[in-house]
Structure 1
Amino acid sequence: MNKILLWSITAALAGFLFGFDTVVISGADKKLQELWHTSDVFHGSVVMAMALWGTVIGAIFGGIPTNALGRKKTLIWIGVLFLVSAIGSSLANDPYVFAFFRFLGGLGIGASTIAAPAYVSEIAPAKDRGRLVSLYQFNIVLGILIAFLSNYLLRDVGENAWRWMIGVMAFPSFFYMIIVFAIPESPRWLLSKSRNEEAKKVLQQINPDAEIEELMAEFHVGEDNHVKGETIFLKKYRFPLILAFLIALFNQLSGINAFLYYAPRIFAEAGLEESAALMSSIGIGLTNLVFTLLGVFLIDVLGRKVLMYIGSVGYIISLGLVSVAFFLKWQGMAVPIFLFMFIASHAIGQGAVIWVFISEIFPNHLRASGQAFGSSTHWVLAAIIPSMVPFLFSTIGAGTVFLIFAVMMVFQLLFVMFMMPETKGKTLEELQETVFKQQ
């Protein structure tokens, strides 16, 4: 178990780069718009959102290298993309070059949402799978917190503070790229490619006392029913496809990425001074970290559905209060406190569950493709929604925007109640059989 934990943590550190890259741009948001004199529409849809469009492409096509090259090699290339992105975007002198290098980082984010959870879910024992795959989400929020803290500490280093904010990410990117070389390939992926001898060696590392042939036979449960070359869009995979689509859809309709990208701007809309807004952003990061840890601890105890119930109710209450606060023009700490509640609800619910759940509901040979579908759904919306925030705030107002998010979370609650299956404590092969029987 110690080896599995170490390998899981190593792979899941891709989430740290994901979280850091996603949020670090918030510290440079207004400075870049002033520096390059761009309109709200161009700034939102190109400068700020280009990493998200890269994430969409990475999510759509990330299943290809994850399937063809393997989980491990894909994770190494993800580290390379983050490194090049950090260096290039920090040295950029115009919005187009900046957007290009941010796009490369987005490719890394999109691919990481496929390769890292797939890798961890395939090496983890059933009883600990939720907790171990959740380490990816924990690293995302740790990266978010460190990015907020880094932005705060670097805010006064001079006229080019934004370059340091973005460029500092090169250090963890290089470190990650190196340490991933130390983990073995996923045994389930090796078996899916008929590389049985290599799979045996990895399985012996995982559990030297186990009967390797029995483990290999267990990993092949149900594989005889699968036709070579089939895709996730066949009728028999319709139910897991719908589940992946809906959980990803509701994740973004909560407004989580819109908020993370524009936290300082949202706090400024609520009347906070710039320094107070940045400090509140750090508070958001800490809240996210604490409640993600709680979600990681509870996911294999209470199960995925219970956490989604808790998160859904918390979303509805907190987003409703944020909306009211903007409509009634409450000043001071009201909006930050309600948004802390929102982040806590996300962290213990959707944040802890989404990547675990999507990594569990598809068969071994289609897991990367299934995750690519769920991840691309997630990131298409994550690109569209934040890019619209500056425009929507200036037209329909922040109160209406947050009210829409609250209503969407009512529909998420109905999804959890009537559609979402519980996956706690079952092997991937058992889920492969039970999930398909529910259609």
Structure 2
Amino acid sequence: MFIDGFDVSVIAVALPGLKLAWNITDGIVSGIVASAVVVGMFFGMMFGGRLVDIFGRKKMYMFDLVGFVVFALVAAASQNVWQLIIARLLLGLFIGADYPISSSVTAEFTTPHRRGRLIIFMSLMWQLGAFTAYVIGILLMGTGGHAWRWMLFCGAVLAGIVILMRHNMPESPRWLRDRGRDEEADEIEREMREEHDLIIDTRNTGQATEKGKMREIFTPKYLRATVFCCVFWFAFAVSFYGIQMYTPTILTPFTEGRPELAFLGAAFIAALGVVGAGIGMVTVERWGRRRQIIWCFVGMVVALVILALWENPALAFLIGLLSVTILLANLGPGVLNMVYPNEMFPTRLRGTGVGFAGSISRIGSILGVLVFPVLVENWGMARATWLFAGVAAFGLIVSIWLAPETRGRSMDELEELASNGWRDDQGNRVFYGTYTTTGPEVPAKKGN
């Protein structure tokens, strides 16, 4: 996830130098360069999620990283803008596929009272990768006209390191049991218990579960999960990517001819994103998922409305408001977008559900990246910000309406709730409550 964040965000730092090197003056072409990886992620999430449910977590977990290395190298060696666009598009396929692959692995290897925290740790690493992209960009700015190539090349080096780290990852016991391969699952669970003191509690069903089909996520049983996860992730993506991918461009007109201030401001805003994800990792098992996503959306709406009403803010206030927005986005929807889909879809549909919701979020990313700069050019910064404020308000409304509380529940409990359309034994929609596997309401435990 660190590399995901790095590869997606590094183009924001590389783009100014790239435009000078190749004399790119067309704003549409710049937008296509910036959004190519996001377009690739749309298809990568959509199909990567299906593949991880069909072929298993381990195979896809390794194969995916090879694409990171290959297409980061191709992007760094591009000789014209269209070669770069194609390379970034193909890189995006593998980045997008990694979301349902790696998050499924994490969700299925963790215990109920640590699951949210560890999945959010992945999102924290994404934010740290994005921040690192800005830092490396600043450090490489003085290396000449090919600085942007070195920025893109760093992504290939990082991916090569992670390939070595992933090679001995076992298959998910939960996925194996879903395929009726209980003996293999028993062996992996025994190894995890003896070597790592990790207890993975999965039910031995004795028979394979019918393979999930993509159309199932649109049936009444799973429609609530599909609509909720798609909408709140979409709402987050519009604001986050619109700001994150264009932060230096947004800040430059307010720097009075000092471009280095734009990059420093962008790095500060990205750093606040890391802080937000870090806070979210601590609070998610204390506040609960529902409370965290709702109140963070509220704060985002307030900050964005202030920014939209302020025609000519000083640079410090602009950075401050954008920092608050990114911090709250990453504290709430920006980290729960990995938690909720993994908890609301059953094992046989987990990759599919995460992948589909993620692919819809990429539409929001593309909207933020392509539409926002056009609105800024025609309407000005303040009026264009209404796009972000309106979409965040939409995400807030849907979260109040549909967000369940999943804190502290085992994966088996969550699958049972999913099969009941997220209704309890009395037929009421699940909004509140933290439960153990035995039923009574209790506060979330610390540690294991």
TM-score where L is the length of structure 2: 0.88
- The answer on whether the counterparts of 1:84 and 1:101 sit within 8 Å (CA) in structure 2 is no
Give the letter for the 1:107 counterpart: L
Relative distance call for 1:275 and 1:236 in structure 2 (3 A) is same
- The answer on whether the counterparts of 2:297 and 2:393 sit within 8 Å (CA) in structure 1 is yes
Aligned to 1:46: 32
CA distance in 2, matches of 1:110, 1:401: 28
What is the CA distance between 1:245 and its match in structure 2? 1.7
What is the CA distance between 1:104 and its match in structure 2? 2.1
Aligned to 1:323: 308
- SS in structure 1 opposite 2:218? coil
Give the letter for the 1:22 counterpart: V
CA distance in 1, matches of 2:27, 2:315: 29
CA distance in 2, matches of 1:229, 1:285: 38
Give the letter for the 1:149 counterpart: V
Aligned to 1:145: 131
CA distance in 1, matches of 2:195, 2:23: 64
Write the mapping of 1:5-404 to structure 2, written as runs, cut at 5 A: 15-208=1-194, 215-217=201-203, 220=205, 227-230=210-213, 231-253=216-238, 255-271=239-255, 273-325=258-310, 327=311, 329-404=312-387
- The answer on whether the counterparts of 1:66 and 1:114 sit within 8 Å (CA) in structure 2 is yes
- CA offset digits 1:207-253 (Å, max 9, x no partner): 2499x9994426x59x99x7545432333222211122222222223
- The answer on whether the counterparts of 1:18 and 1:143 sit within 8 Å (CA) in structure 2 is yes
State the superposition RMSD in angstroms.
Answer: 2.3
Give the letter for the 1:352 counterpart: V
Give the letter for the 1:187 counterpart: P
- SS in structure 2 opposite 1:168? helix
What is the CA distance between 1:39 and its match in structure 2? 4.9
What is the CA distance between 1:67 and its match in structure 2? 1.9
Relative distance call for 1:65 and 1:332 in structure 2 (3 A) is same
- CA offset digits 1:317-364 (Å, max 9, x no partner): 221222233x2x123311001111111111211122111111110011
Give the letter for the 2:284 counterpart: I
| Identity percentage of aligned residues | 25
What is the CA distance between 1:175 and its match in structure 2? 0.5
Give the letter for the 2:219 counterpart: L
- SS in structure 2 opposite 1:426? coil
CA distance in 1, matches of 2:63, 2:135: 27
- SS in structure 2 opposite 1:178? helix
TM-score where L is the length of structure 1: 0.90
In structure 1, runs of 5+ residues without a counterpart are: 1-14
In structure 2, runs of 5+ residues without a counterpart are: 424-428, 430-448
- SS in structure 2 opposite 1:194? coil
- SS in structure 2 opposite 1:56? helix
CA distance in 1, matches of 2:229, 2:389: 21
CA distance in 1, matches of 2:200, 2:286: 28
What is the CA distance between 1:45 and its match in structure 2? 4.0
Give the letter for the 1:289 counterpart: V
- SS in structure 1 opposite 2:203? helix
- CA offset digits 1:408-430 (Å, max 9, x no partner): 22222222222211110001221
CA distance in 1, matches of 2:131, 2:372: 22
Aligned to 2:439: none
